Structure 1
Amino acid sequence: MKILMVVPAIAAIYGGPSQVVLQLARSLGRLGIEVDIVTTSANGNSHLDVPLYRWIDRDFYRIQYFDFWNFGDYRYISFKLTQWLWYRVRAYDIVHTHALFCYPSLPAHWACQQHNVPYVMTPHGMLEPWAMAYKYWKKWLFFKGLEQPAIDRAAAVQALCESEADRARSIAPKTPAIVIPSGIDRADFDRLPDPERFYRVFPETRHKTLILFLGRLHPKKGLDLLASALPQIRAELPQIHVVVAGPDSIGYLPKIKSFFKKVGALDAVTFTGMLQGELKYAALAATDLYISPSYSEGFSLSVLEGMASGLPCVITKGCHFPEAASDRAVWEINPDPVEIAEATIALLKDRRLAREMGDRARQLIFAEYTWERIADRLRSLYLTLGDRDRLSRSVRQLIL
């Protein structure tokens, strides 16, 4: 089976959703599925230094980059990618697009409709009410004119959580919405590196009680809520120090700093930028508590990473992980500064409670949320849709 994945941008600066595509492609490839990725060379305000318009072989998949240009909020416009999709989608059994409100998915959907190729859409949280309300009028026009017809004609929507599936079903009742979440590579978490590596790079974090936020810097991530909660936390735990680790692709860092400065806590925060590889895992090893104070998420990869590291995790209901809350593997709260402070203080003052929660979290992730399991579920979806499409084509040929 041959799958084409279409994603607007794949650079690490775009955070979890882009990286999920690479992990999915690699894991599907290991299962014998032939996977190609097409994307743009976007890298924030610059371009990736990569060859364009030719296949690059990676572990178990291929990727091809295309040049692009931006027009205001309408980004990743690539006419060469459009042309390529129009003539090449027929070579694939299924096309899988990632993200809404971005140009590259549009010609992919149109080409699939023209050539009768089934396609799967993954919104990555962009159907959530908070996300839809952000820049509402532009999104409403875009959605009604372009995204709604695409969802209506999709073979399926891959939802990352039940709430996203429910939202998709309410928008397009005739399109199947299947929940297949993100995952982690267990090997990355079997044994975390020595935290000393993180302390050497960020010495101000040494001998502190560390709270880690791991994710891209964006208004929906709720760092304003964490800032508002920090004075109450510091009053009970003076040694607390917050690590904000993530890329800033929209110039949001000055605003975040202003949140902490306003409450007199900027000295208790380290902004590391994006952490990758061993340094990221060393940060997880050094951390006492992971926090995701988000207003809205699709399904946070960094939450899975915090849990897989065996950390006590405080997450909001906007993270859409009720399964973890029901297993007492996380402390789930409303996106509210008082609740953030109370949960954080309770866990950091009761080490046994924190350790037991971290152990349950690690067990849950290793049992249910590894890329091997996720890829197997996605392969089953592809095979089901492929069989259905081949049957449909055979019937049409018989009629003709």
Structure 2
Amino acid sequence: MKLLIVVPALGLVYGGPSKIAVELAQSLGDLGISVDLVTTNANGSVSLDVPLYTWLPEKYHRIQYFPYWALSDYKISFSITKWLFQHIADYDLVHTNAIFSYPILPAYWACRWHRVPYIITPHGMLNPWALSYKAGKKRFYYAFLEKPALQCASAIQMLASTEAERIKPLNLKAPLVVIPNGIHRQDFEKLPNPELFYQKFPDTRNKTLIIFLGRIDPKKGLDLLAAAFGKVHTQFPQTHLIIAGPDNIGFLPTAKNYFTKAGCFDAVTFIGMLTGSLKYAALAAASIYVAPSYSEGFSMSVLEGMASGLPCVITIGCNFPEAAMAQAAHVVDINAEAIADALMQCLKHPQQAKAMGNRARQLILEQYTWERIASNLIEVYTAIIKKEPVPTL
């Protein structure tokens, strides 16, 4: 099987979907699939310093980068368009990641022109909240560009059962398959010493740390978190909130203002994006993980928080009802009071919180590893290529 993965960008500033595309390619390649990945060199306000127009070999897959130019929120790349029309027929199947992004459109068009089947992963962008955000821009784009491509897909990968349920009103013809994201087990078998994090951020030492991992973005619910943490910090003054994530859209001043208005800004540290051992050391230092999102596809950082054994407070917008069913996280409504109550529950009952964190770790390491996810996707790919019914996984 020869697979092409198309993703708009791999820059670290884009968070989940970019990370997911790379880790999926690695995992599929590890299982014997021939995987190529094409993308642009976008990385927020700058470009990645990478060779262009040439295959870069990784251990189990290849990556090729193409230049782009920015037009408002879109990344326009005529070179990737040309390449896709010239080479897409070389592949048995194409897997696109993201929607409402130009580099994906020529992949659809080239697939249809050359009759190559494709599967789409929207990464939560068809959820009602996501469609309503900047709805004016999306309405035309969806009706005339995105929806026709979705209707012709061989399958649409939903990352959660709730995501699949929420997009049913769109009346899409393509079969929906529910396959979540995953983590690499080895990354969480032994977390680094938290001292690595304390040395970098000494003001957090000897505090009860609550950690948020994610982009500084309106959909992440930082307004809710500010109101919730203001209430928590009043009753538990030893608590300190870590906000770890990049600001791609200039939203940081607004986010900081939320905490100023809530009266708890002095107990919050904005530390930017964390990667590698420093990120894992931050998770080791934390006592609680929180994800107050309005809308997600299926959050990688939620998986990381749970795999680290932390008691987690997440909203229903995170699309992870299975965590509640397994009593592996507090899954709460999307409002500040519910978030605050769950955080205080963890702080008041640390032994119960620790037991919940242990259940979370077990759940993720048993059911949400990339090896398992890649195996499930290969079943779907194989069915599509053989023109058999897509399995419900």
Structure 1 length as normaliser, TM-score? 0.96
Superposed, 1:228-377 pairs within 5 Å as 228-377=227-376
Q: CA deviation at 1:172?
A: 4.2
**Contact kept in structure 2, 1:169 and 1:177, CA below 8 Å:** no
Distance 1:23 1:119 in 2: 19
Superposed, 1:99-138 pairs within 5 Å as 99-138=98-137
Aligned partner of 1:141 in structure 2 is 140
Aligned partner of 1:216 in structure 2 is 215
Q: Higher mean Cα deviation, 163-172 or 311-320?
A: 163-172
Q: Secondary structure at the match of 1:388?
A: coil
Distance 1:215 1:166 in 2: 25
Work out whether 1:3 is the aligned partner of 2:17: no
The CA deviation string for residues 77-106 of structure 1, in whole angstroms up to 9 with x for no partner, is 000100000111000000011101000110
The CA deviation string for residues 119-156 of structure 1, in whole angstroms up to 9 with x for no partner, is 00000000001100001111011000000000110000
Superposed, 1:130-169 pairs within 5 Å as 130-169=129-168
Distance 1:45 1:82 in 2: 22
**Contact kept in structure 1, 2:55 and 2:63, CA below 8 Å:** yes
Identity of aligned residues (%): 56
Inter-CA distance 169–230: structure 2 relative to 1 (3 Å threshold): closer
Q: CA deviation at 1:169?
A: 4.4
Aligned partner of 1:13 in structure 2 is 13
Moved over 6 A (4+): none
Distance 1:162 1:18 in 2: 22
**Contact kept in structure 2, 1:169 and 1:176, CA below 8 Å:** no
Work out whether 1:23 is the aligned partner of 2:23: yes
**Contact kept in structure 2, 1:168 and 1:177, CA below 8 Å:** no
* Count of residue pairs the alignment pairs up: 388
Aligned partner of 1:397 in structure 2 is none
Distance 2:230 2:68 in 1: 45
Work out whether 1:190 is the aligned partner of 2:189: yes
Which residue type is aligned with residue 121 of structure 2? T
Which residue type is aligned with residue 248 of structure 1? D
Distance 2:155 2:257 in 1: 42
Inter-CA distance 108–172: structure 2 relative to 1 (3 Å threshold): farther
Distance 2:163 2:310 in 1: 26
Distance 1:188 1:249 in 2: 26
Q: CA deviation at 1:231?
A: 2.0
Q: Secondary structure at the match of 1:120?
A: strand
Distance 1:38 1:379 in 2: 19
Distance 1:79 1:222 in 2: 36
**Contact kept in structure 1, 2:127 and 2:167, CA below 8 Å:** no
Unaligned runs of 5+ in 1: 390-400
Which residue type is aligned with residue 265 of structure 1? C
Q: Secondary structure at the match of 1:158?
A: strand
Q: CA RMSD in A?
A: 0.9
Distance 2:355 2:224 in 1: 26
Aligned partner of 1:60 in structure 2 is 60
Q: CA deviation at 1:247?
A: 1.1
Q: Secondary structure at the match of 1:340?
A: helix
Q: CA deviation at 1:174?
A: 2.4
Which residue type is aligned with residue 133 of structure 1? S
Distance 1:163 1:312 in 2: 22
**Contact kept in structure 1, 2:84 and 2:107, CA below 8 Å:** yes
The CA deviation string for residues 326-385 of structure 1, in whole angstroms up to 9 with x for no partner, is 110000111111111111011111111111100110110011000000000011111111
Q: CA deviation at 1:168?
A: 4.3
**Contact kept in structure 2, 1:4 and 1:35, CA below 8 Å:** yes
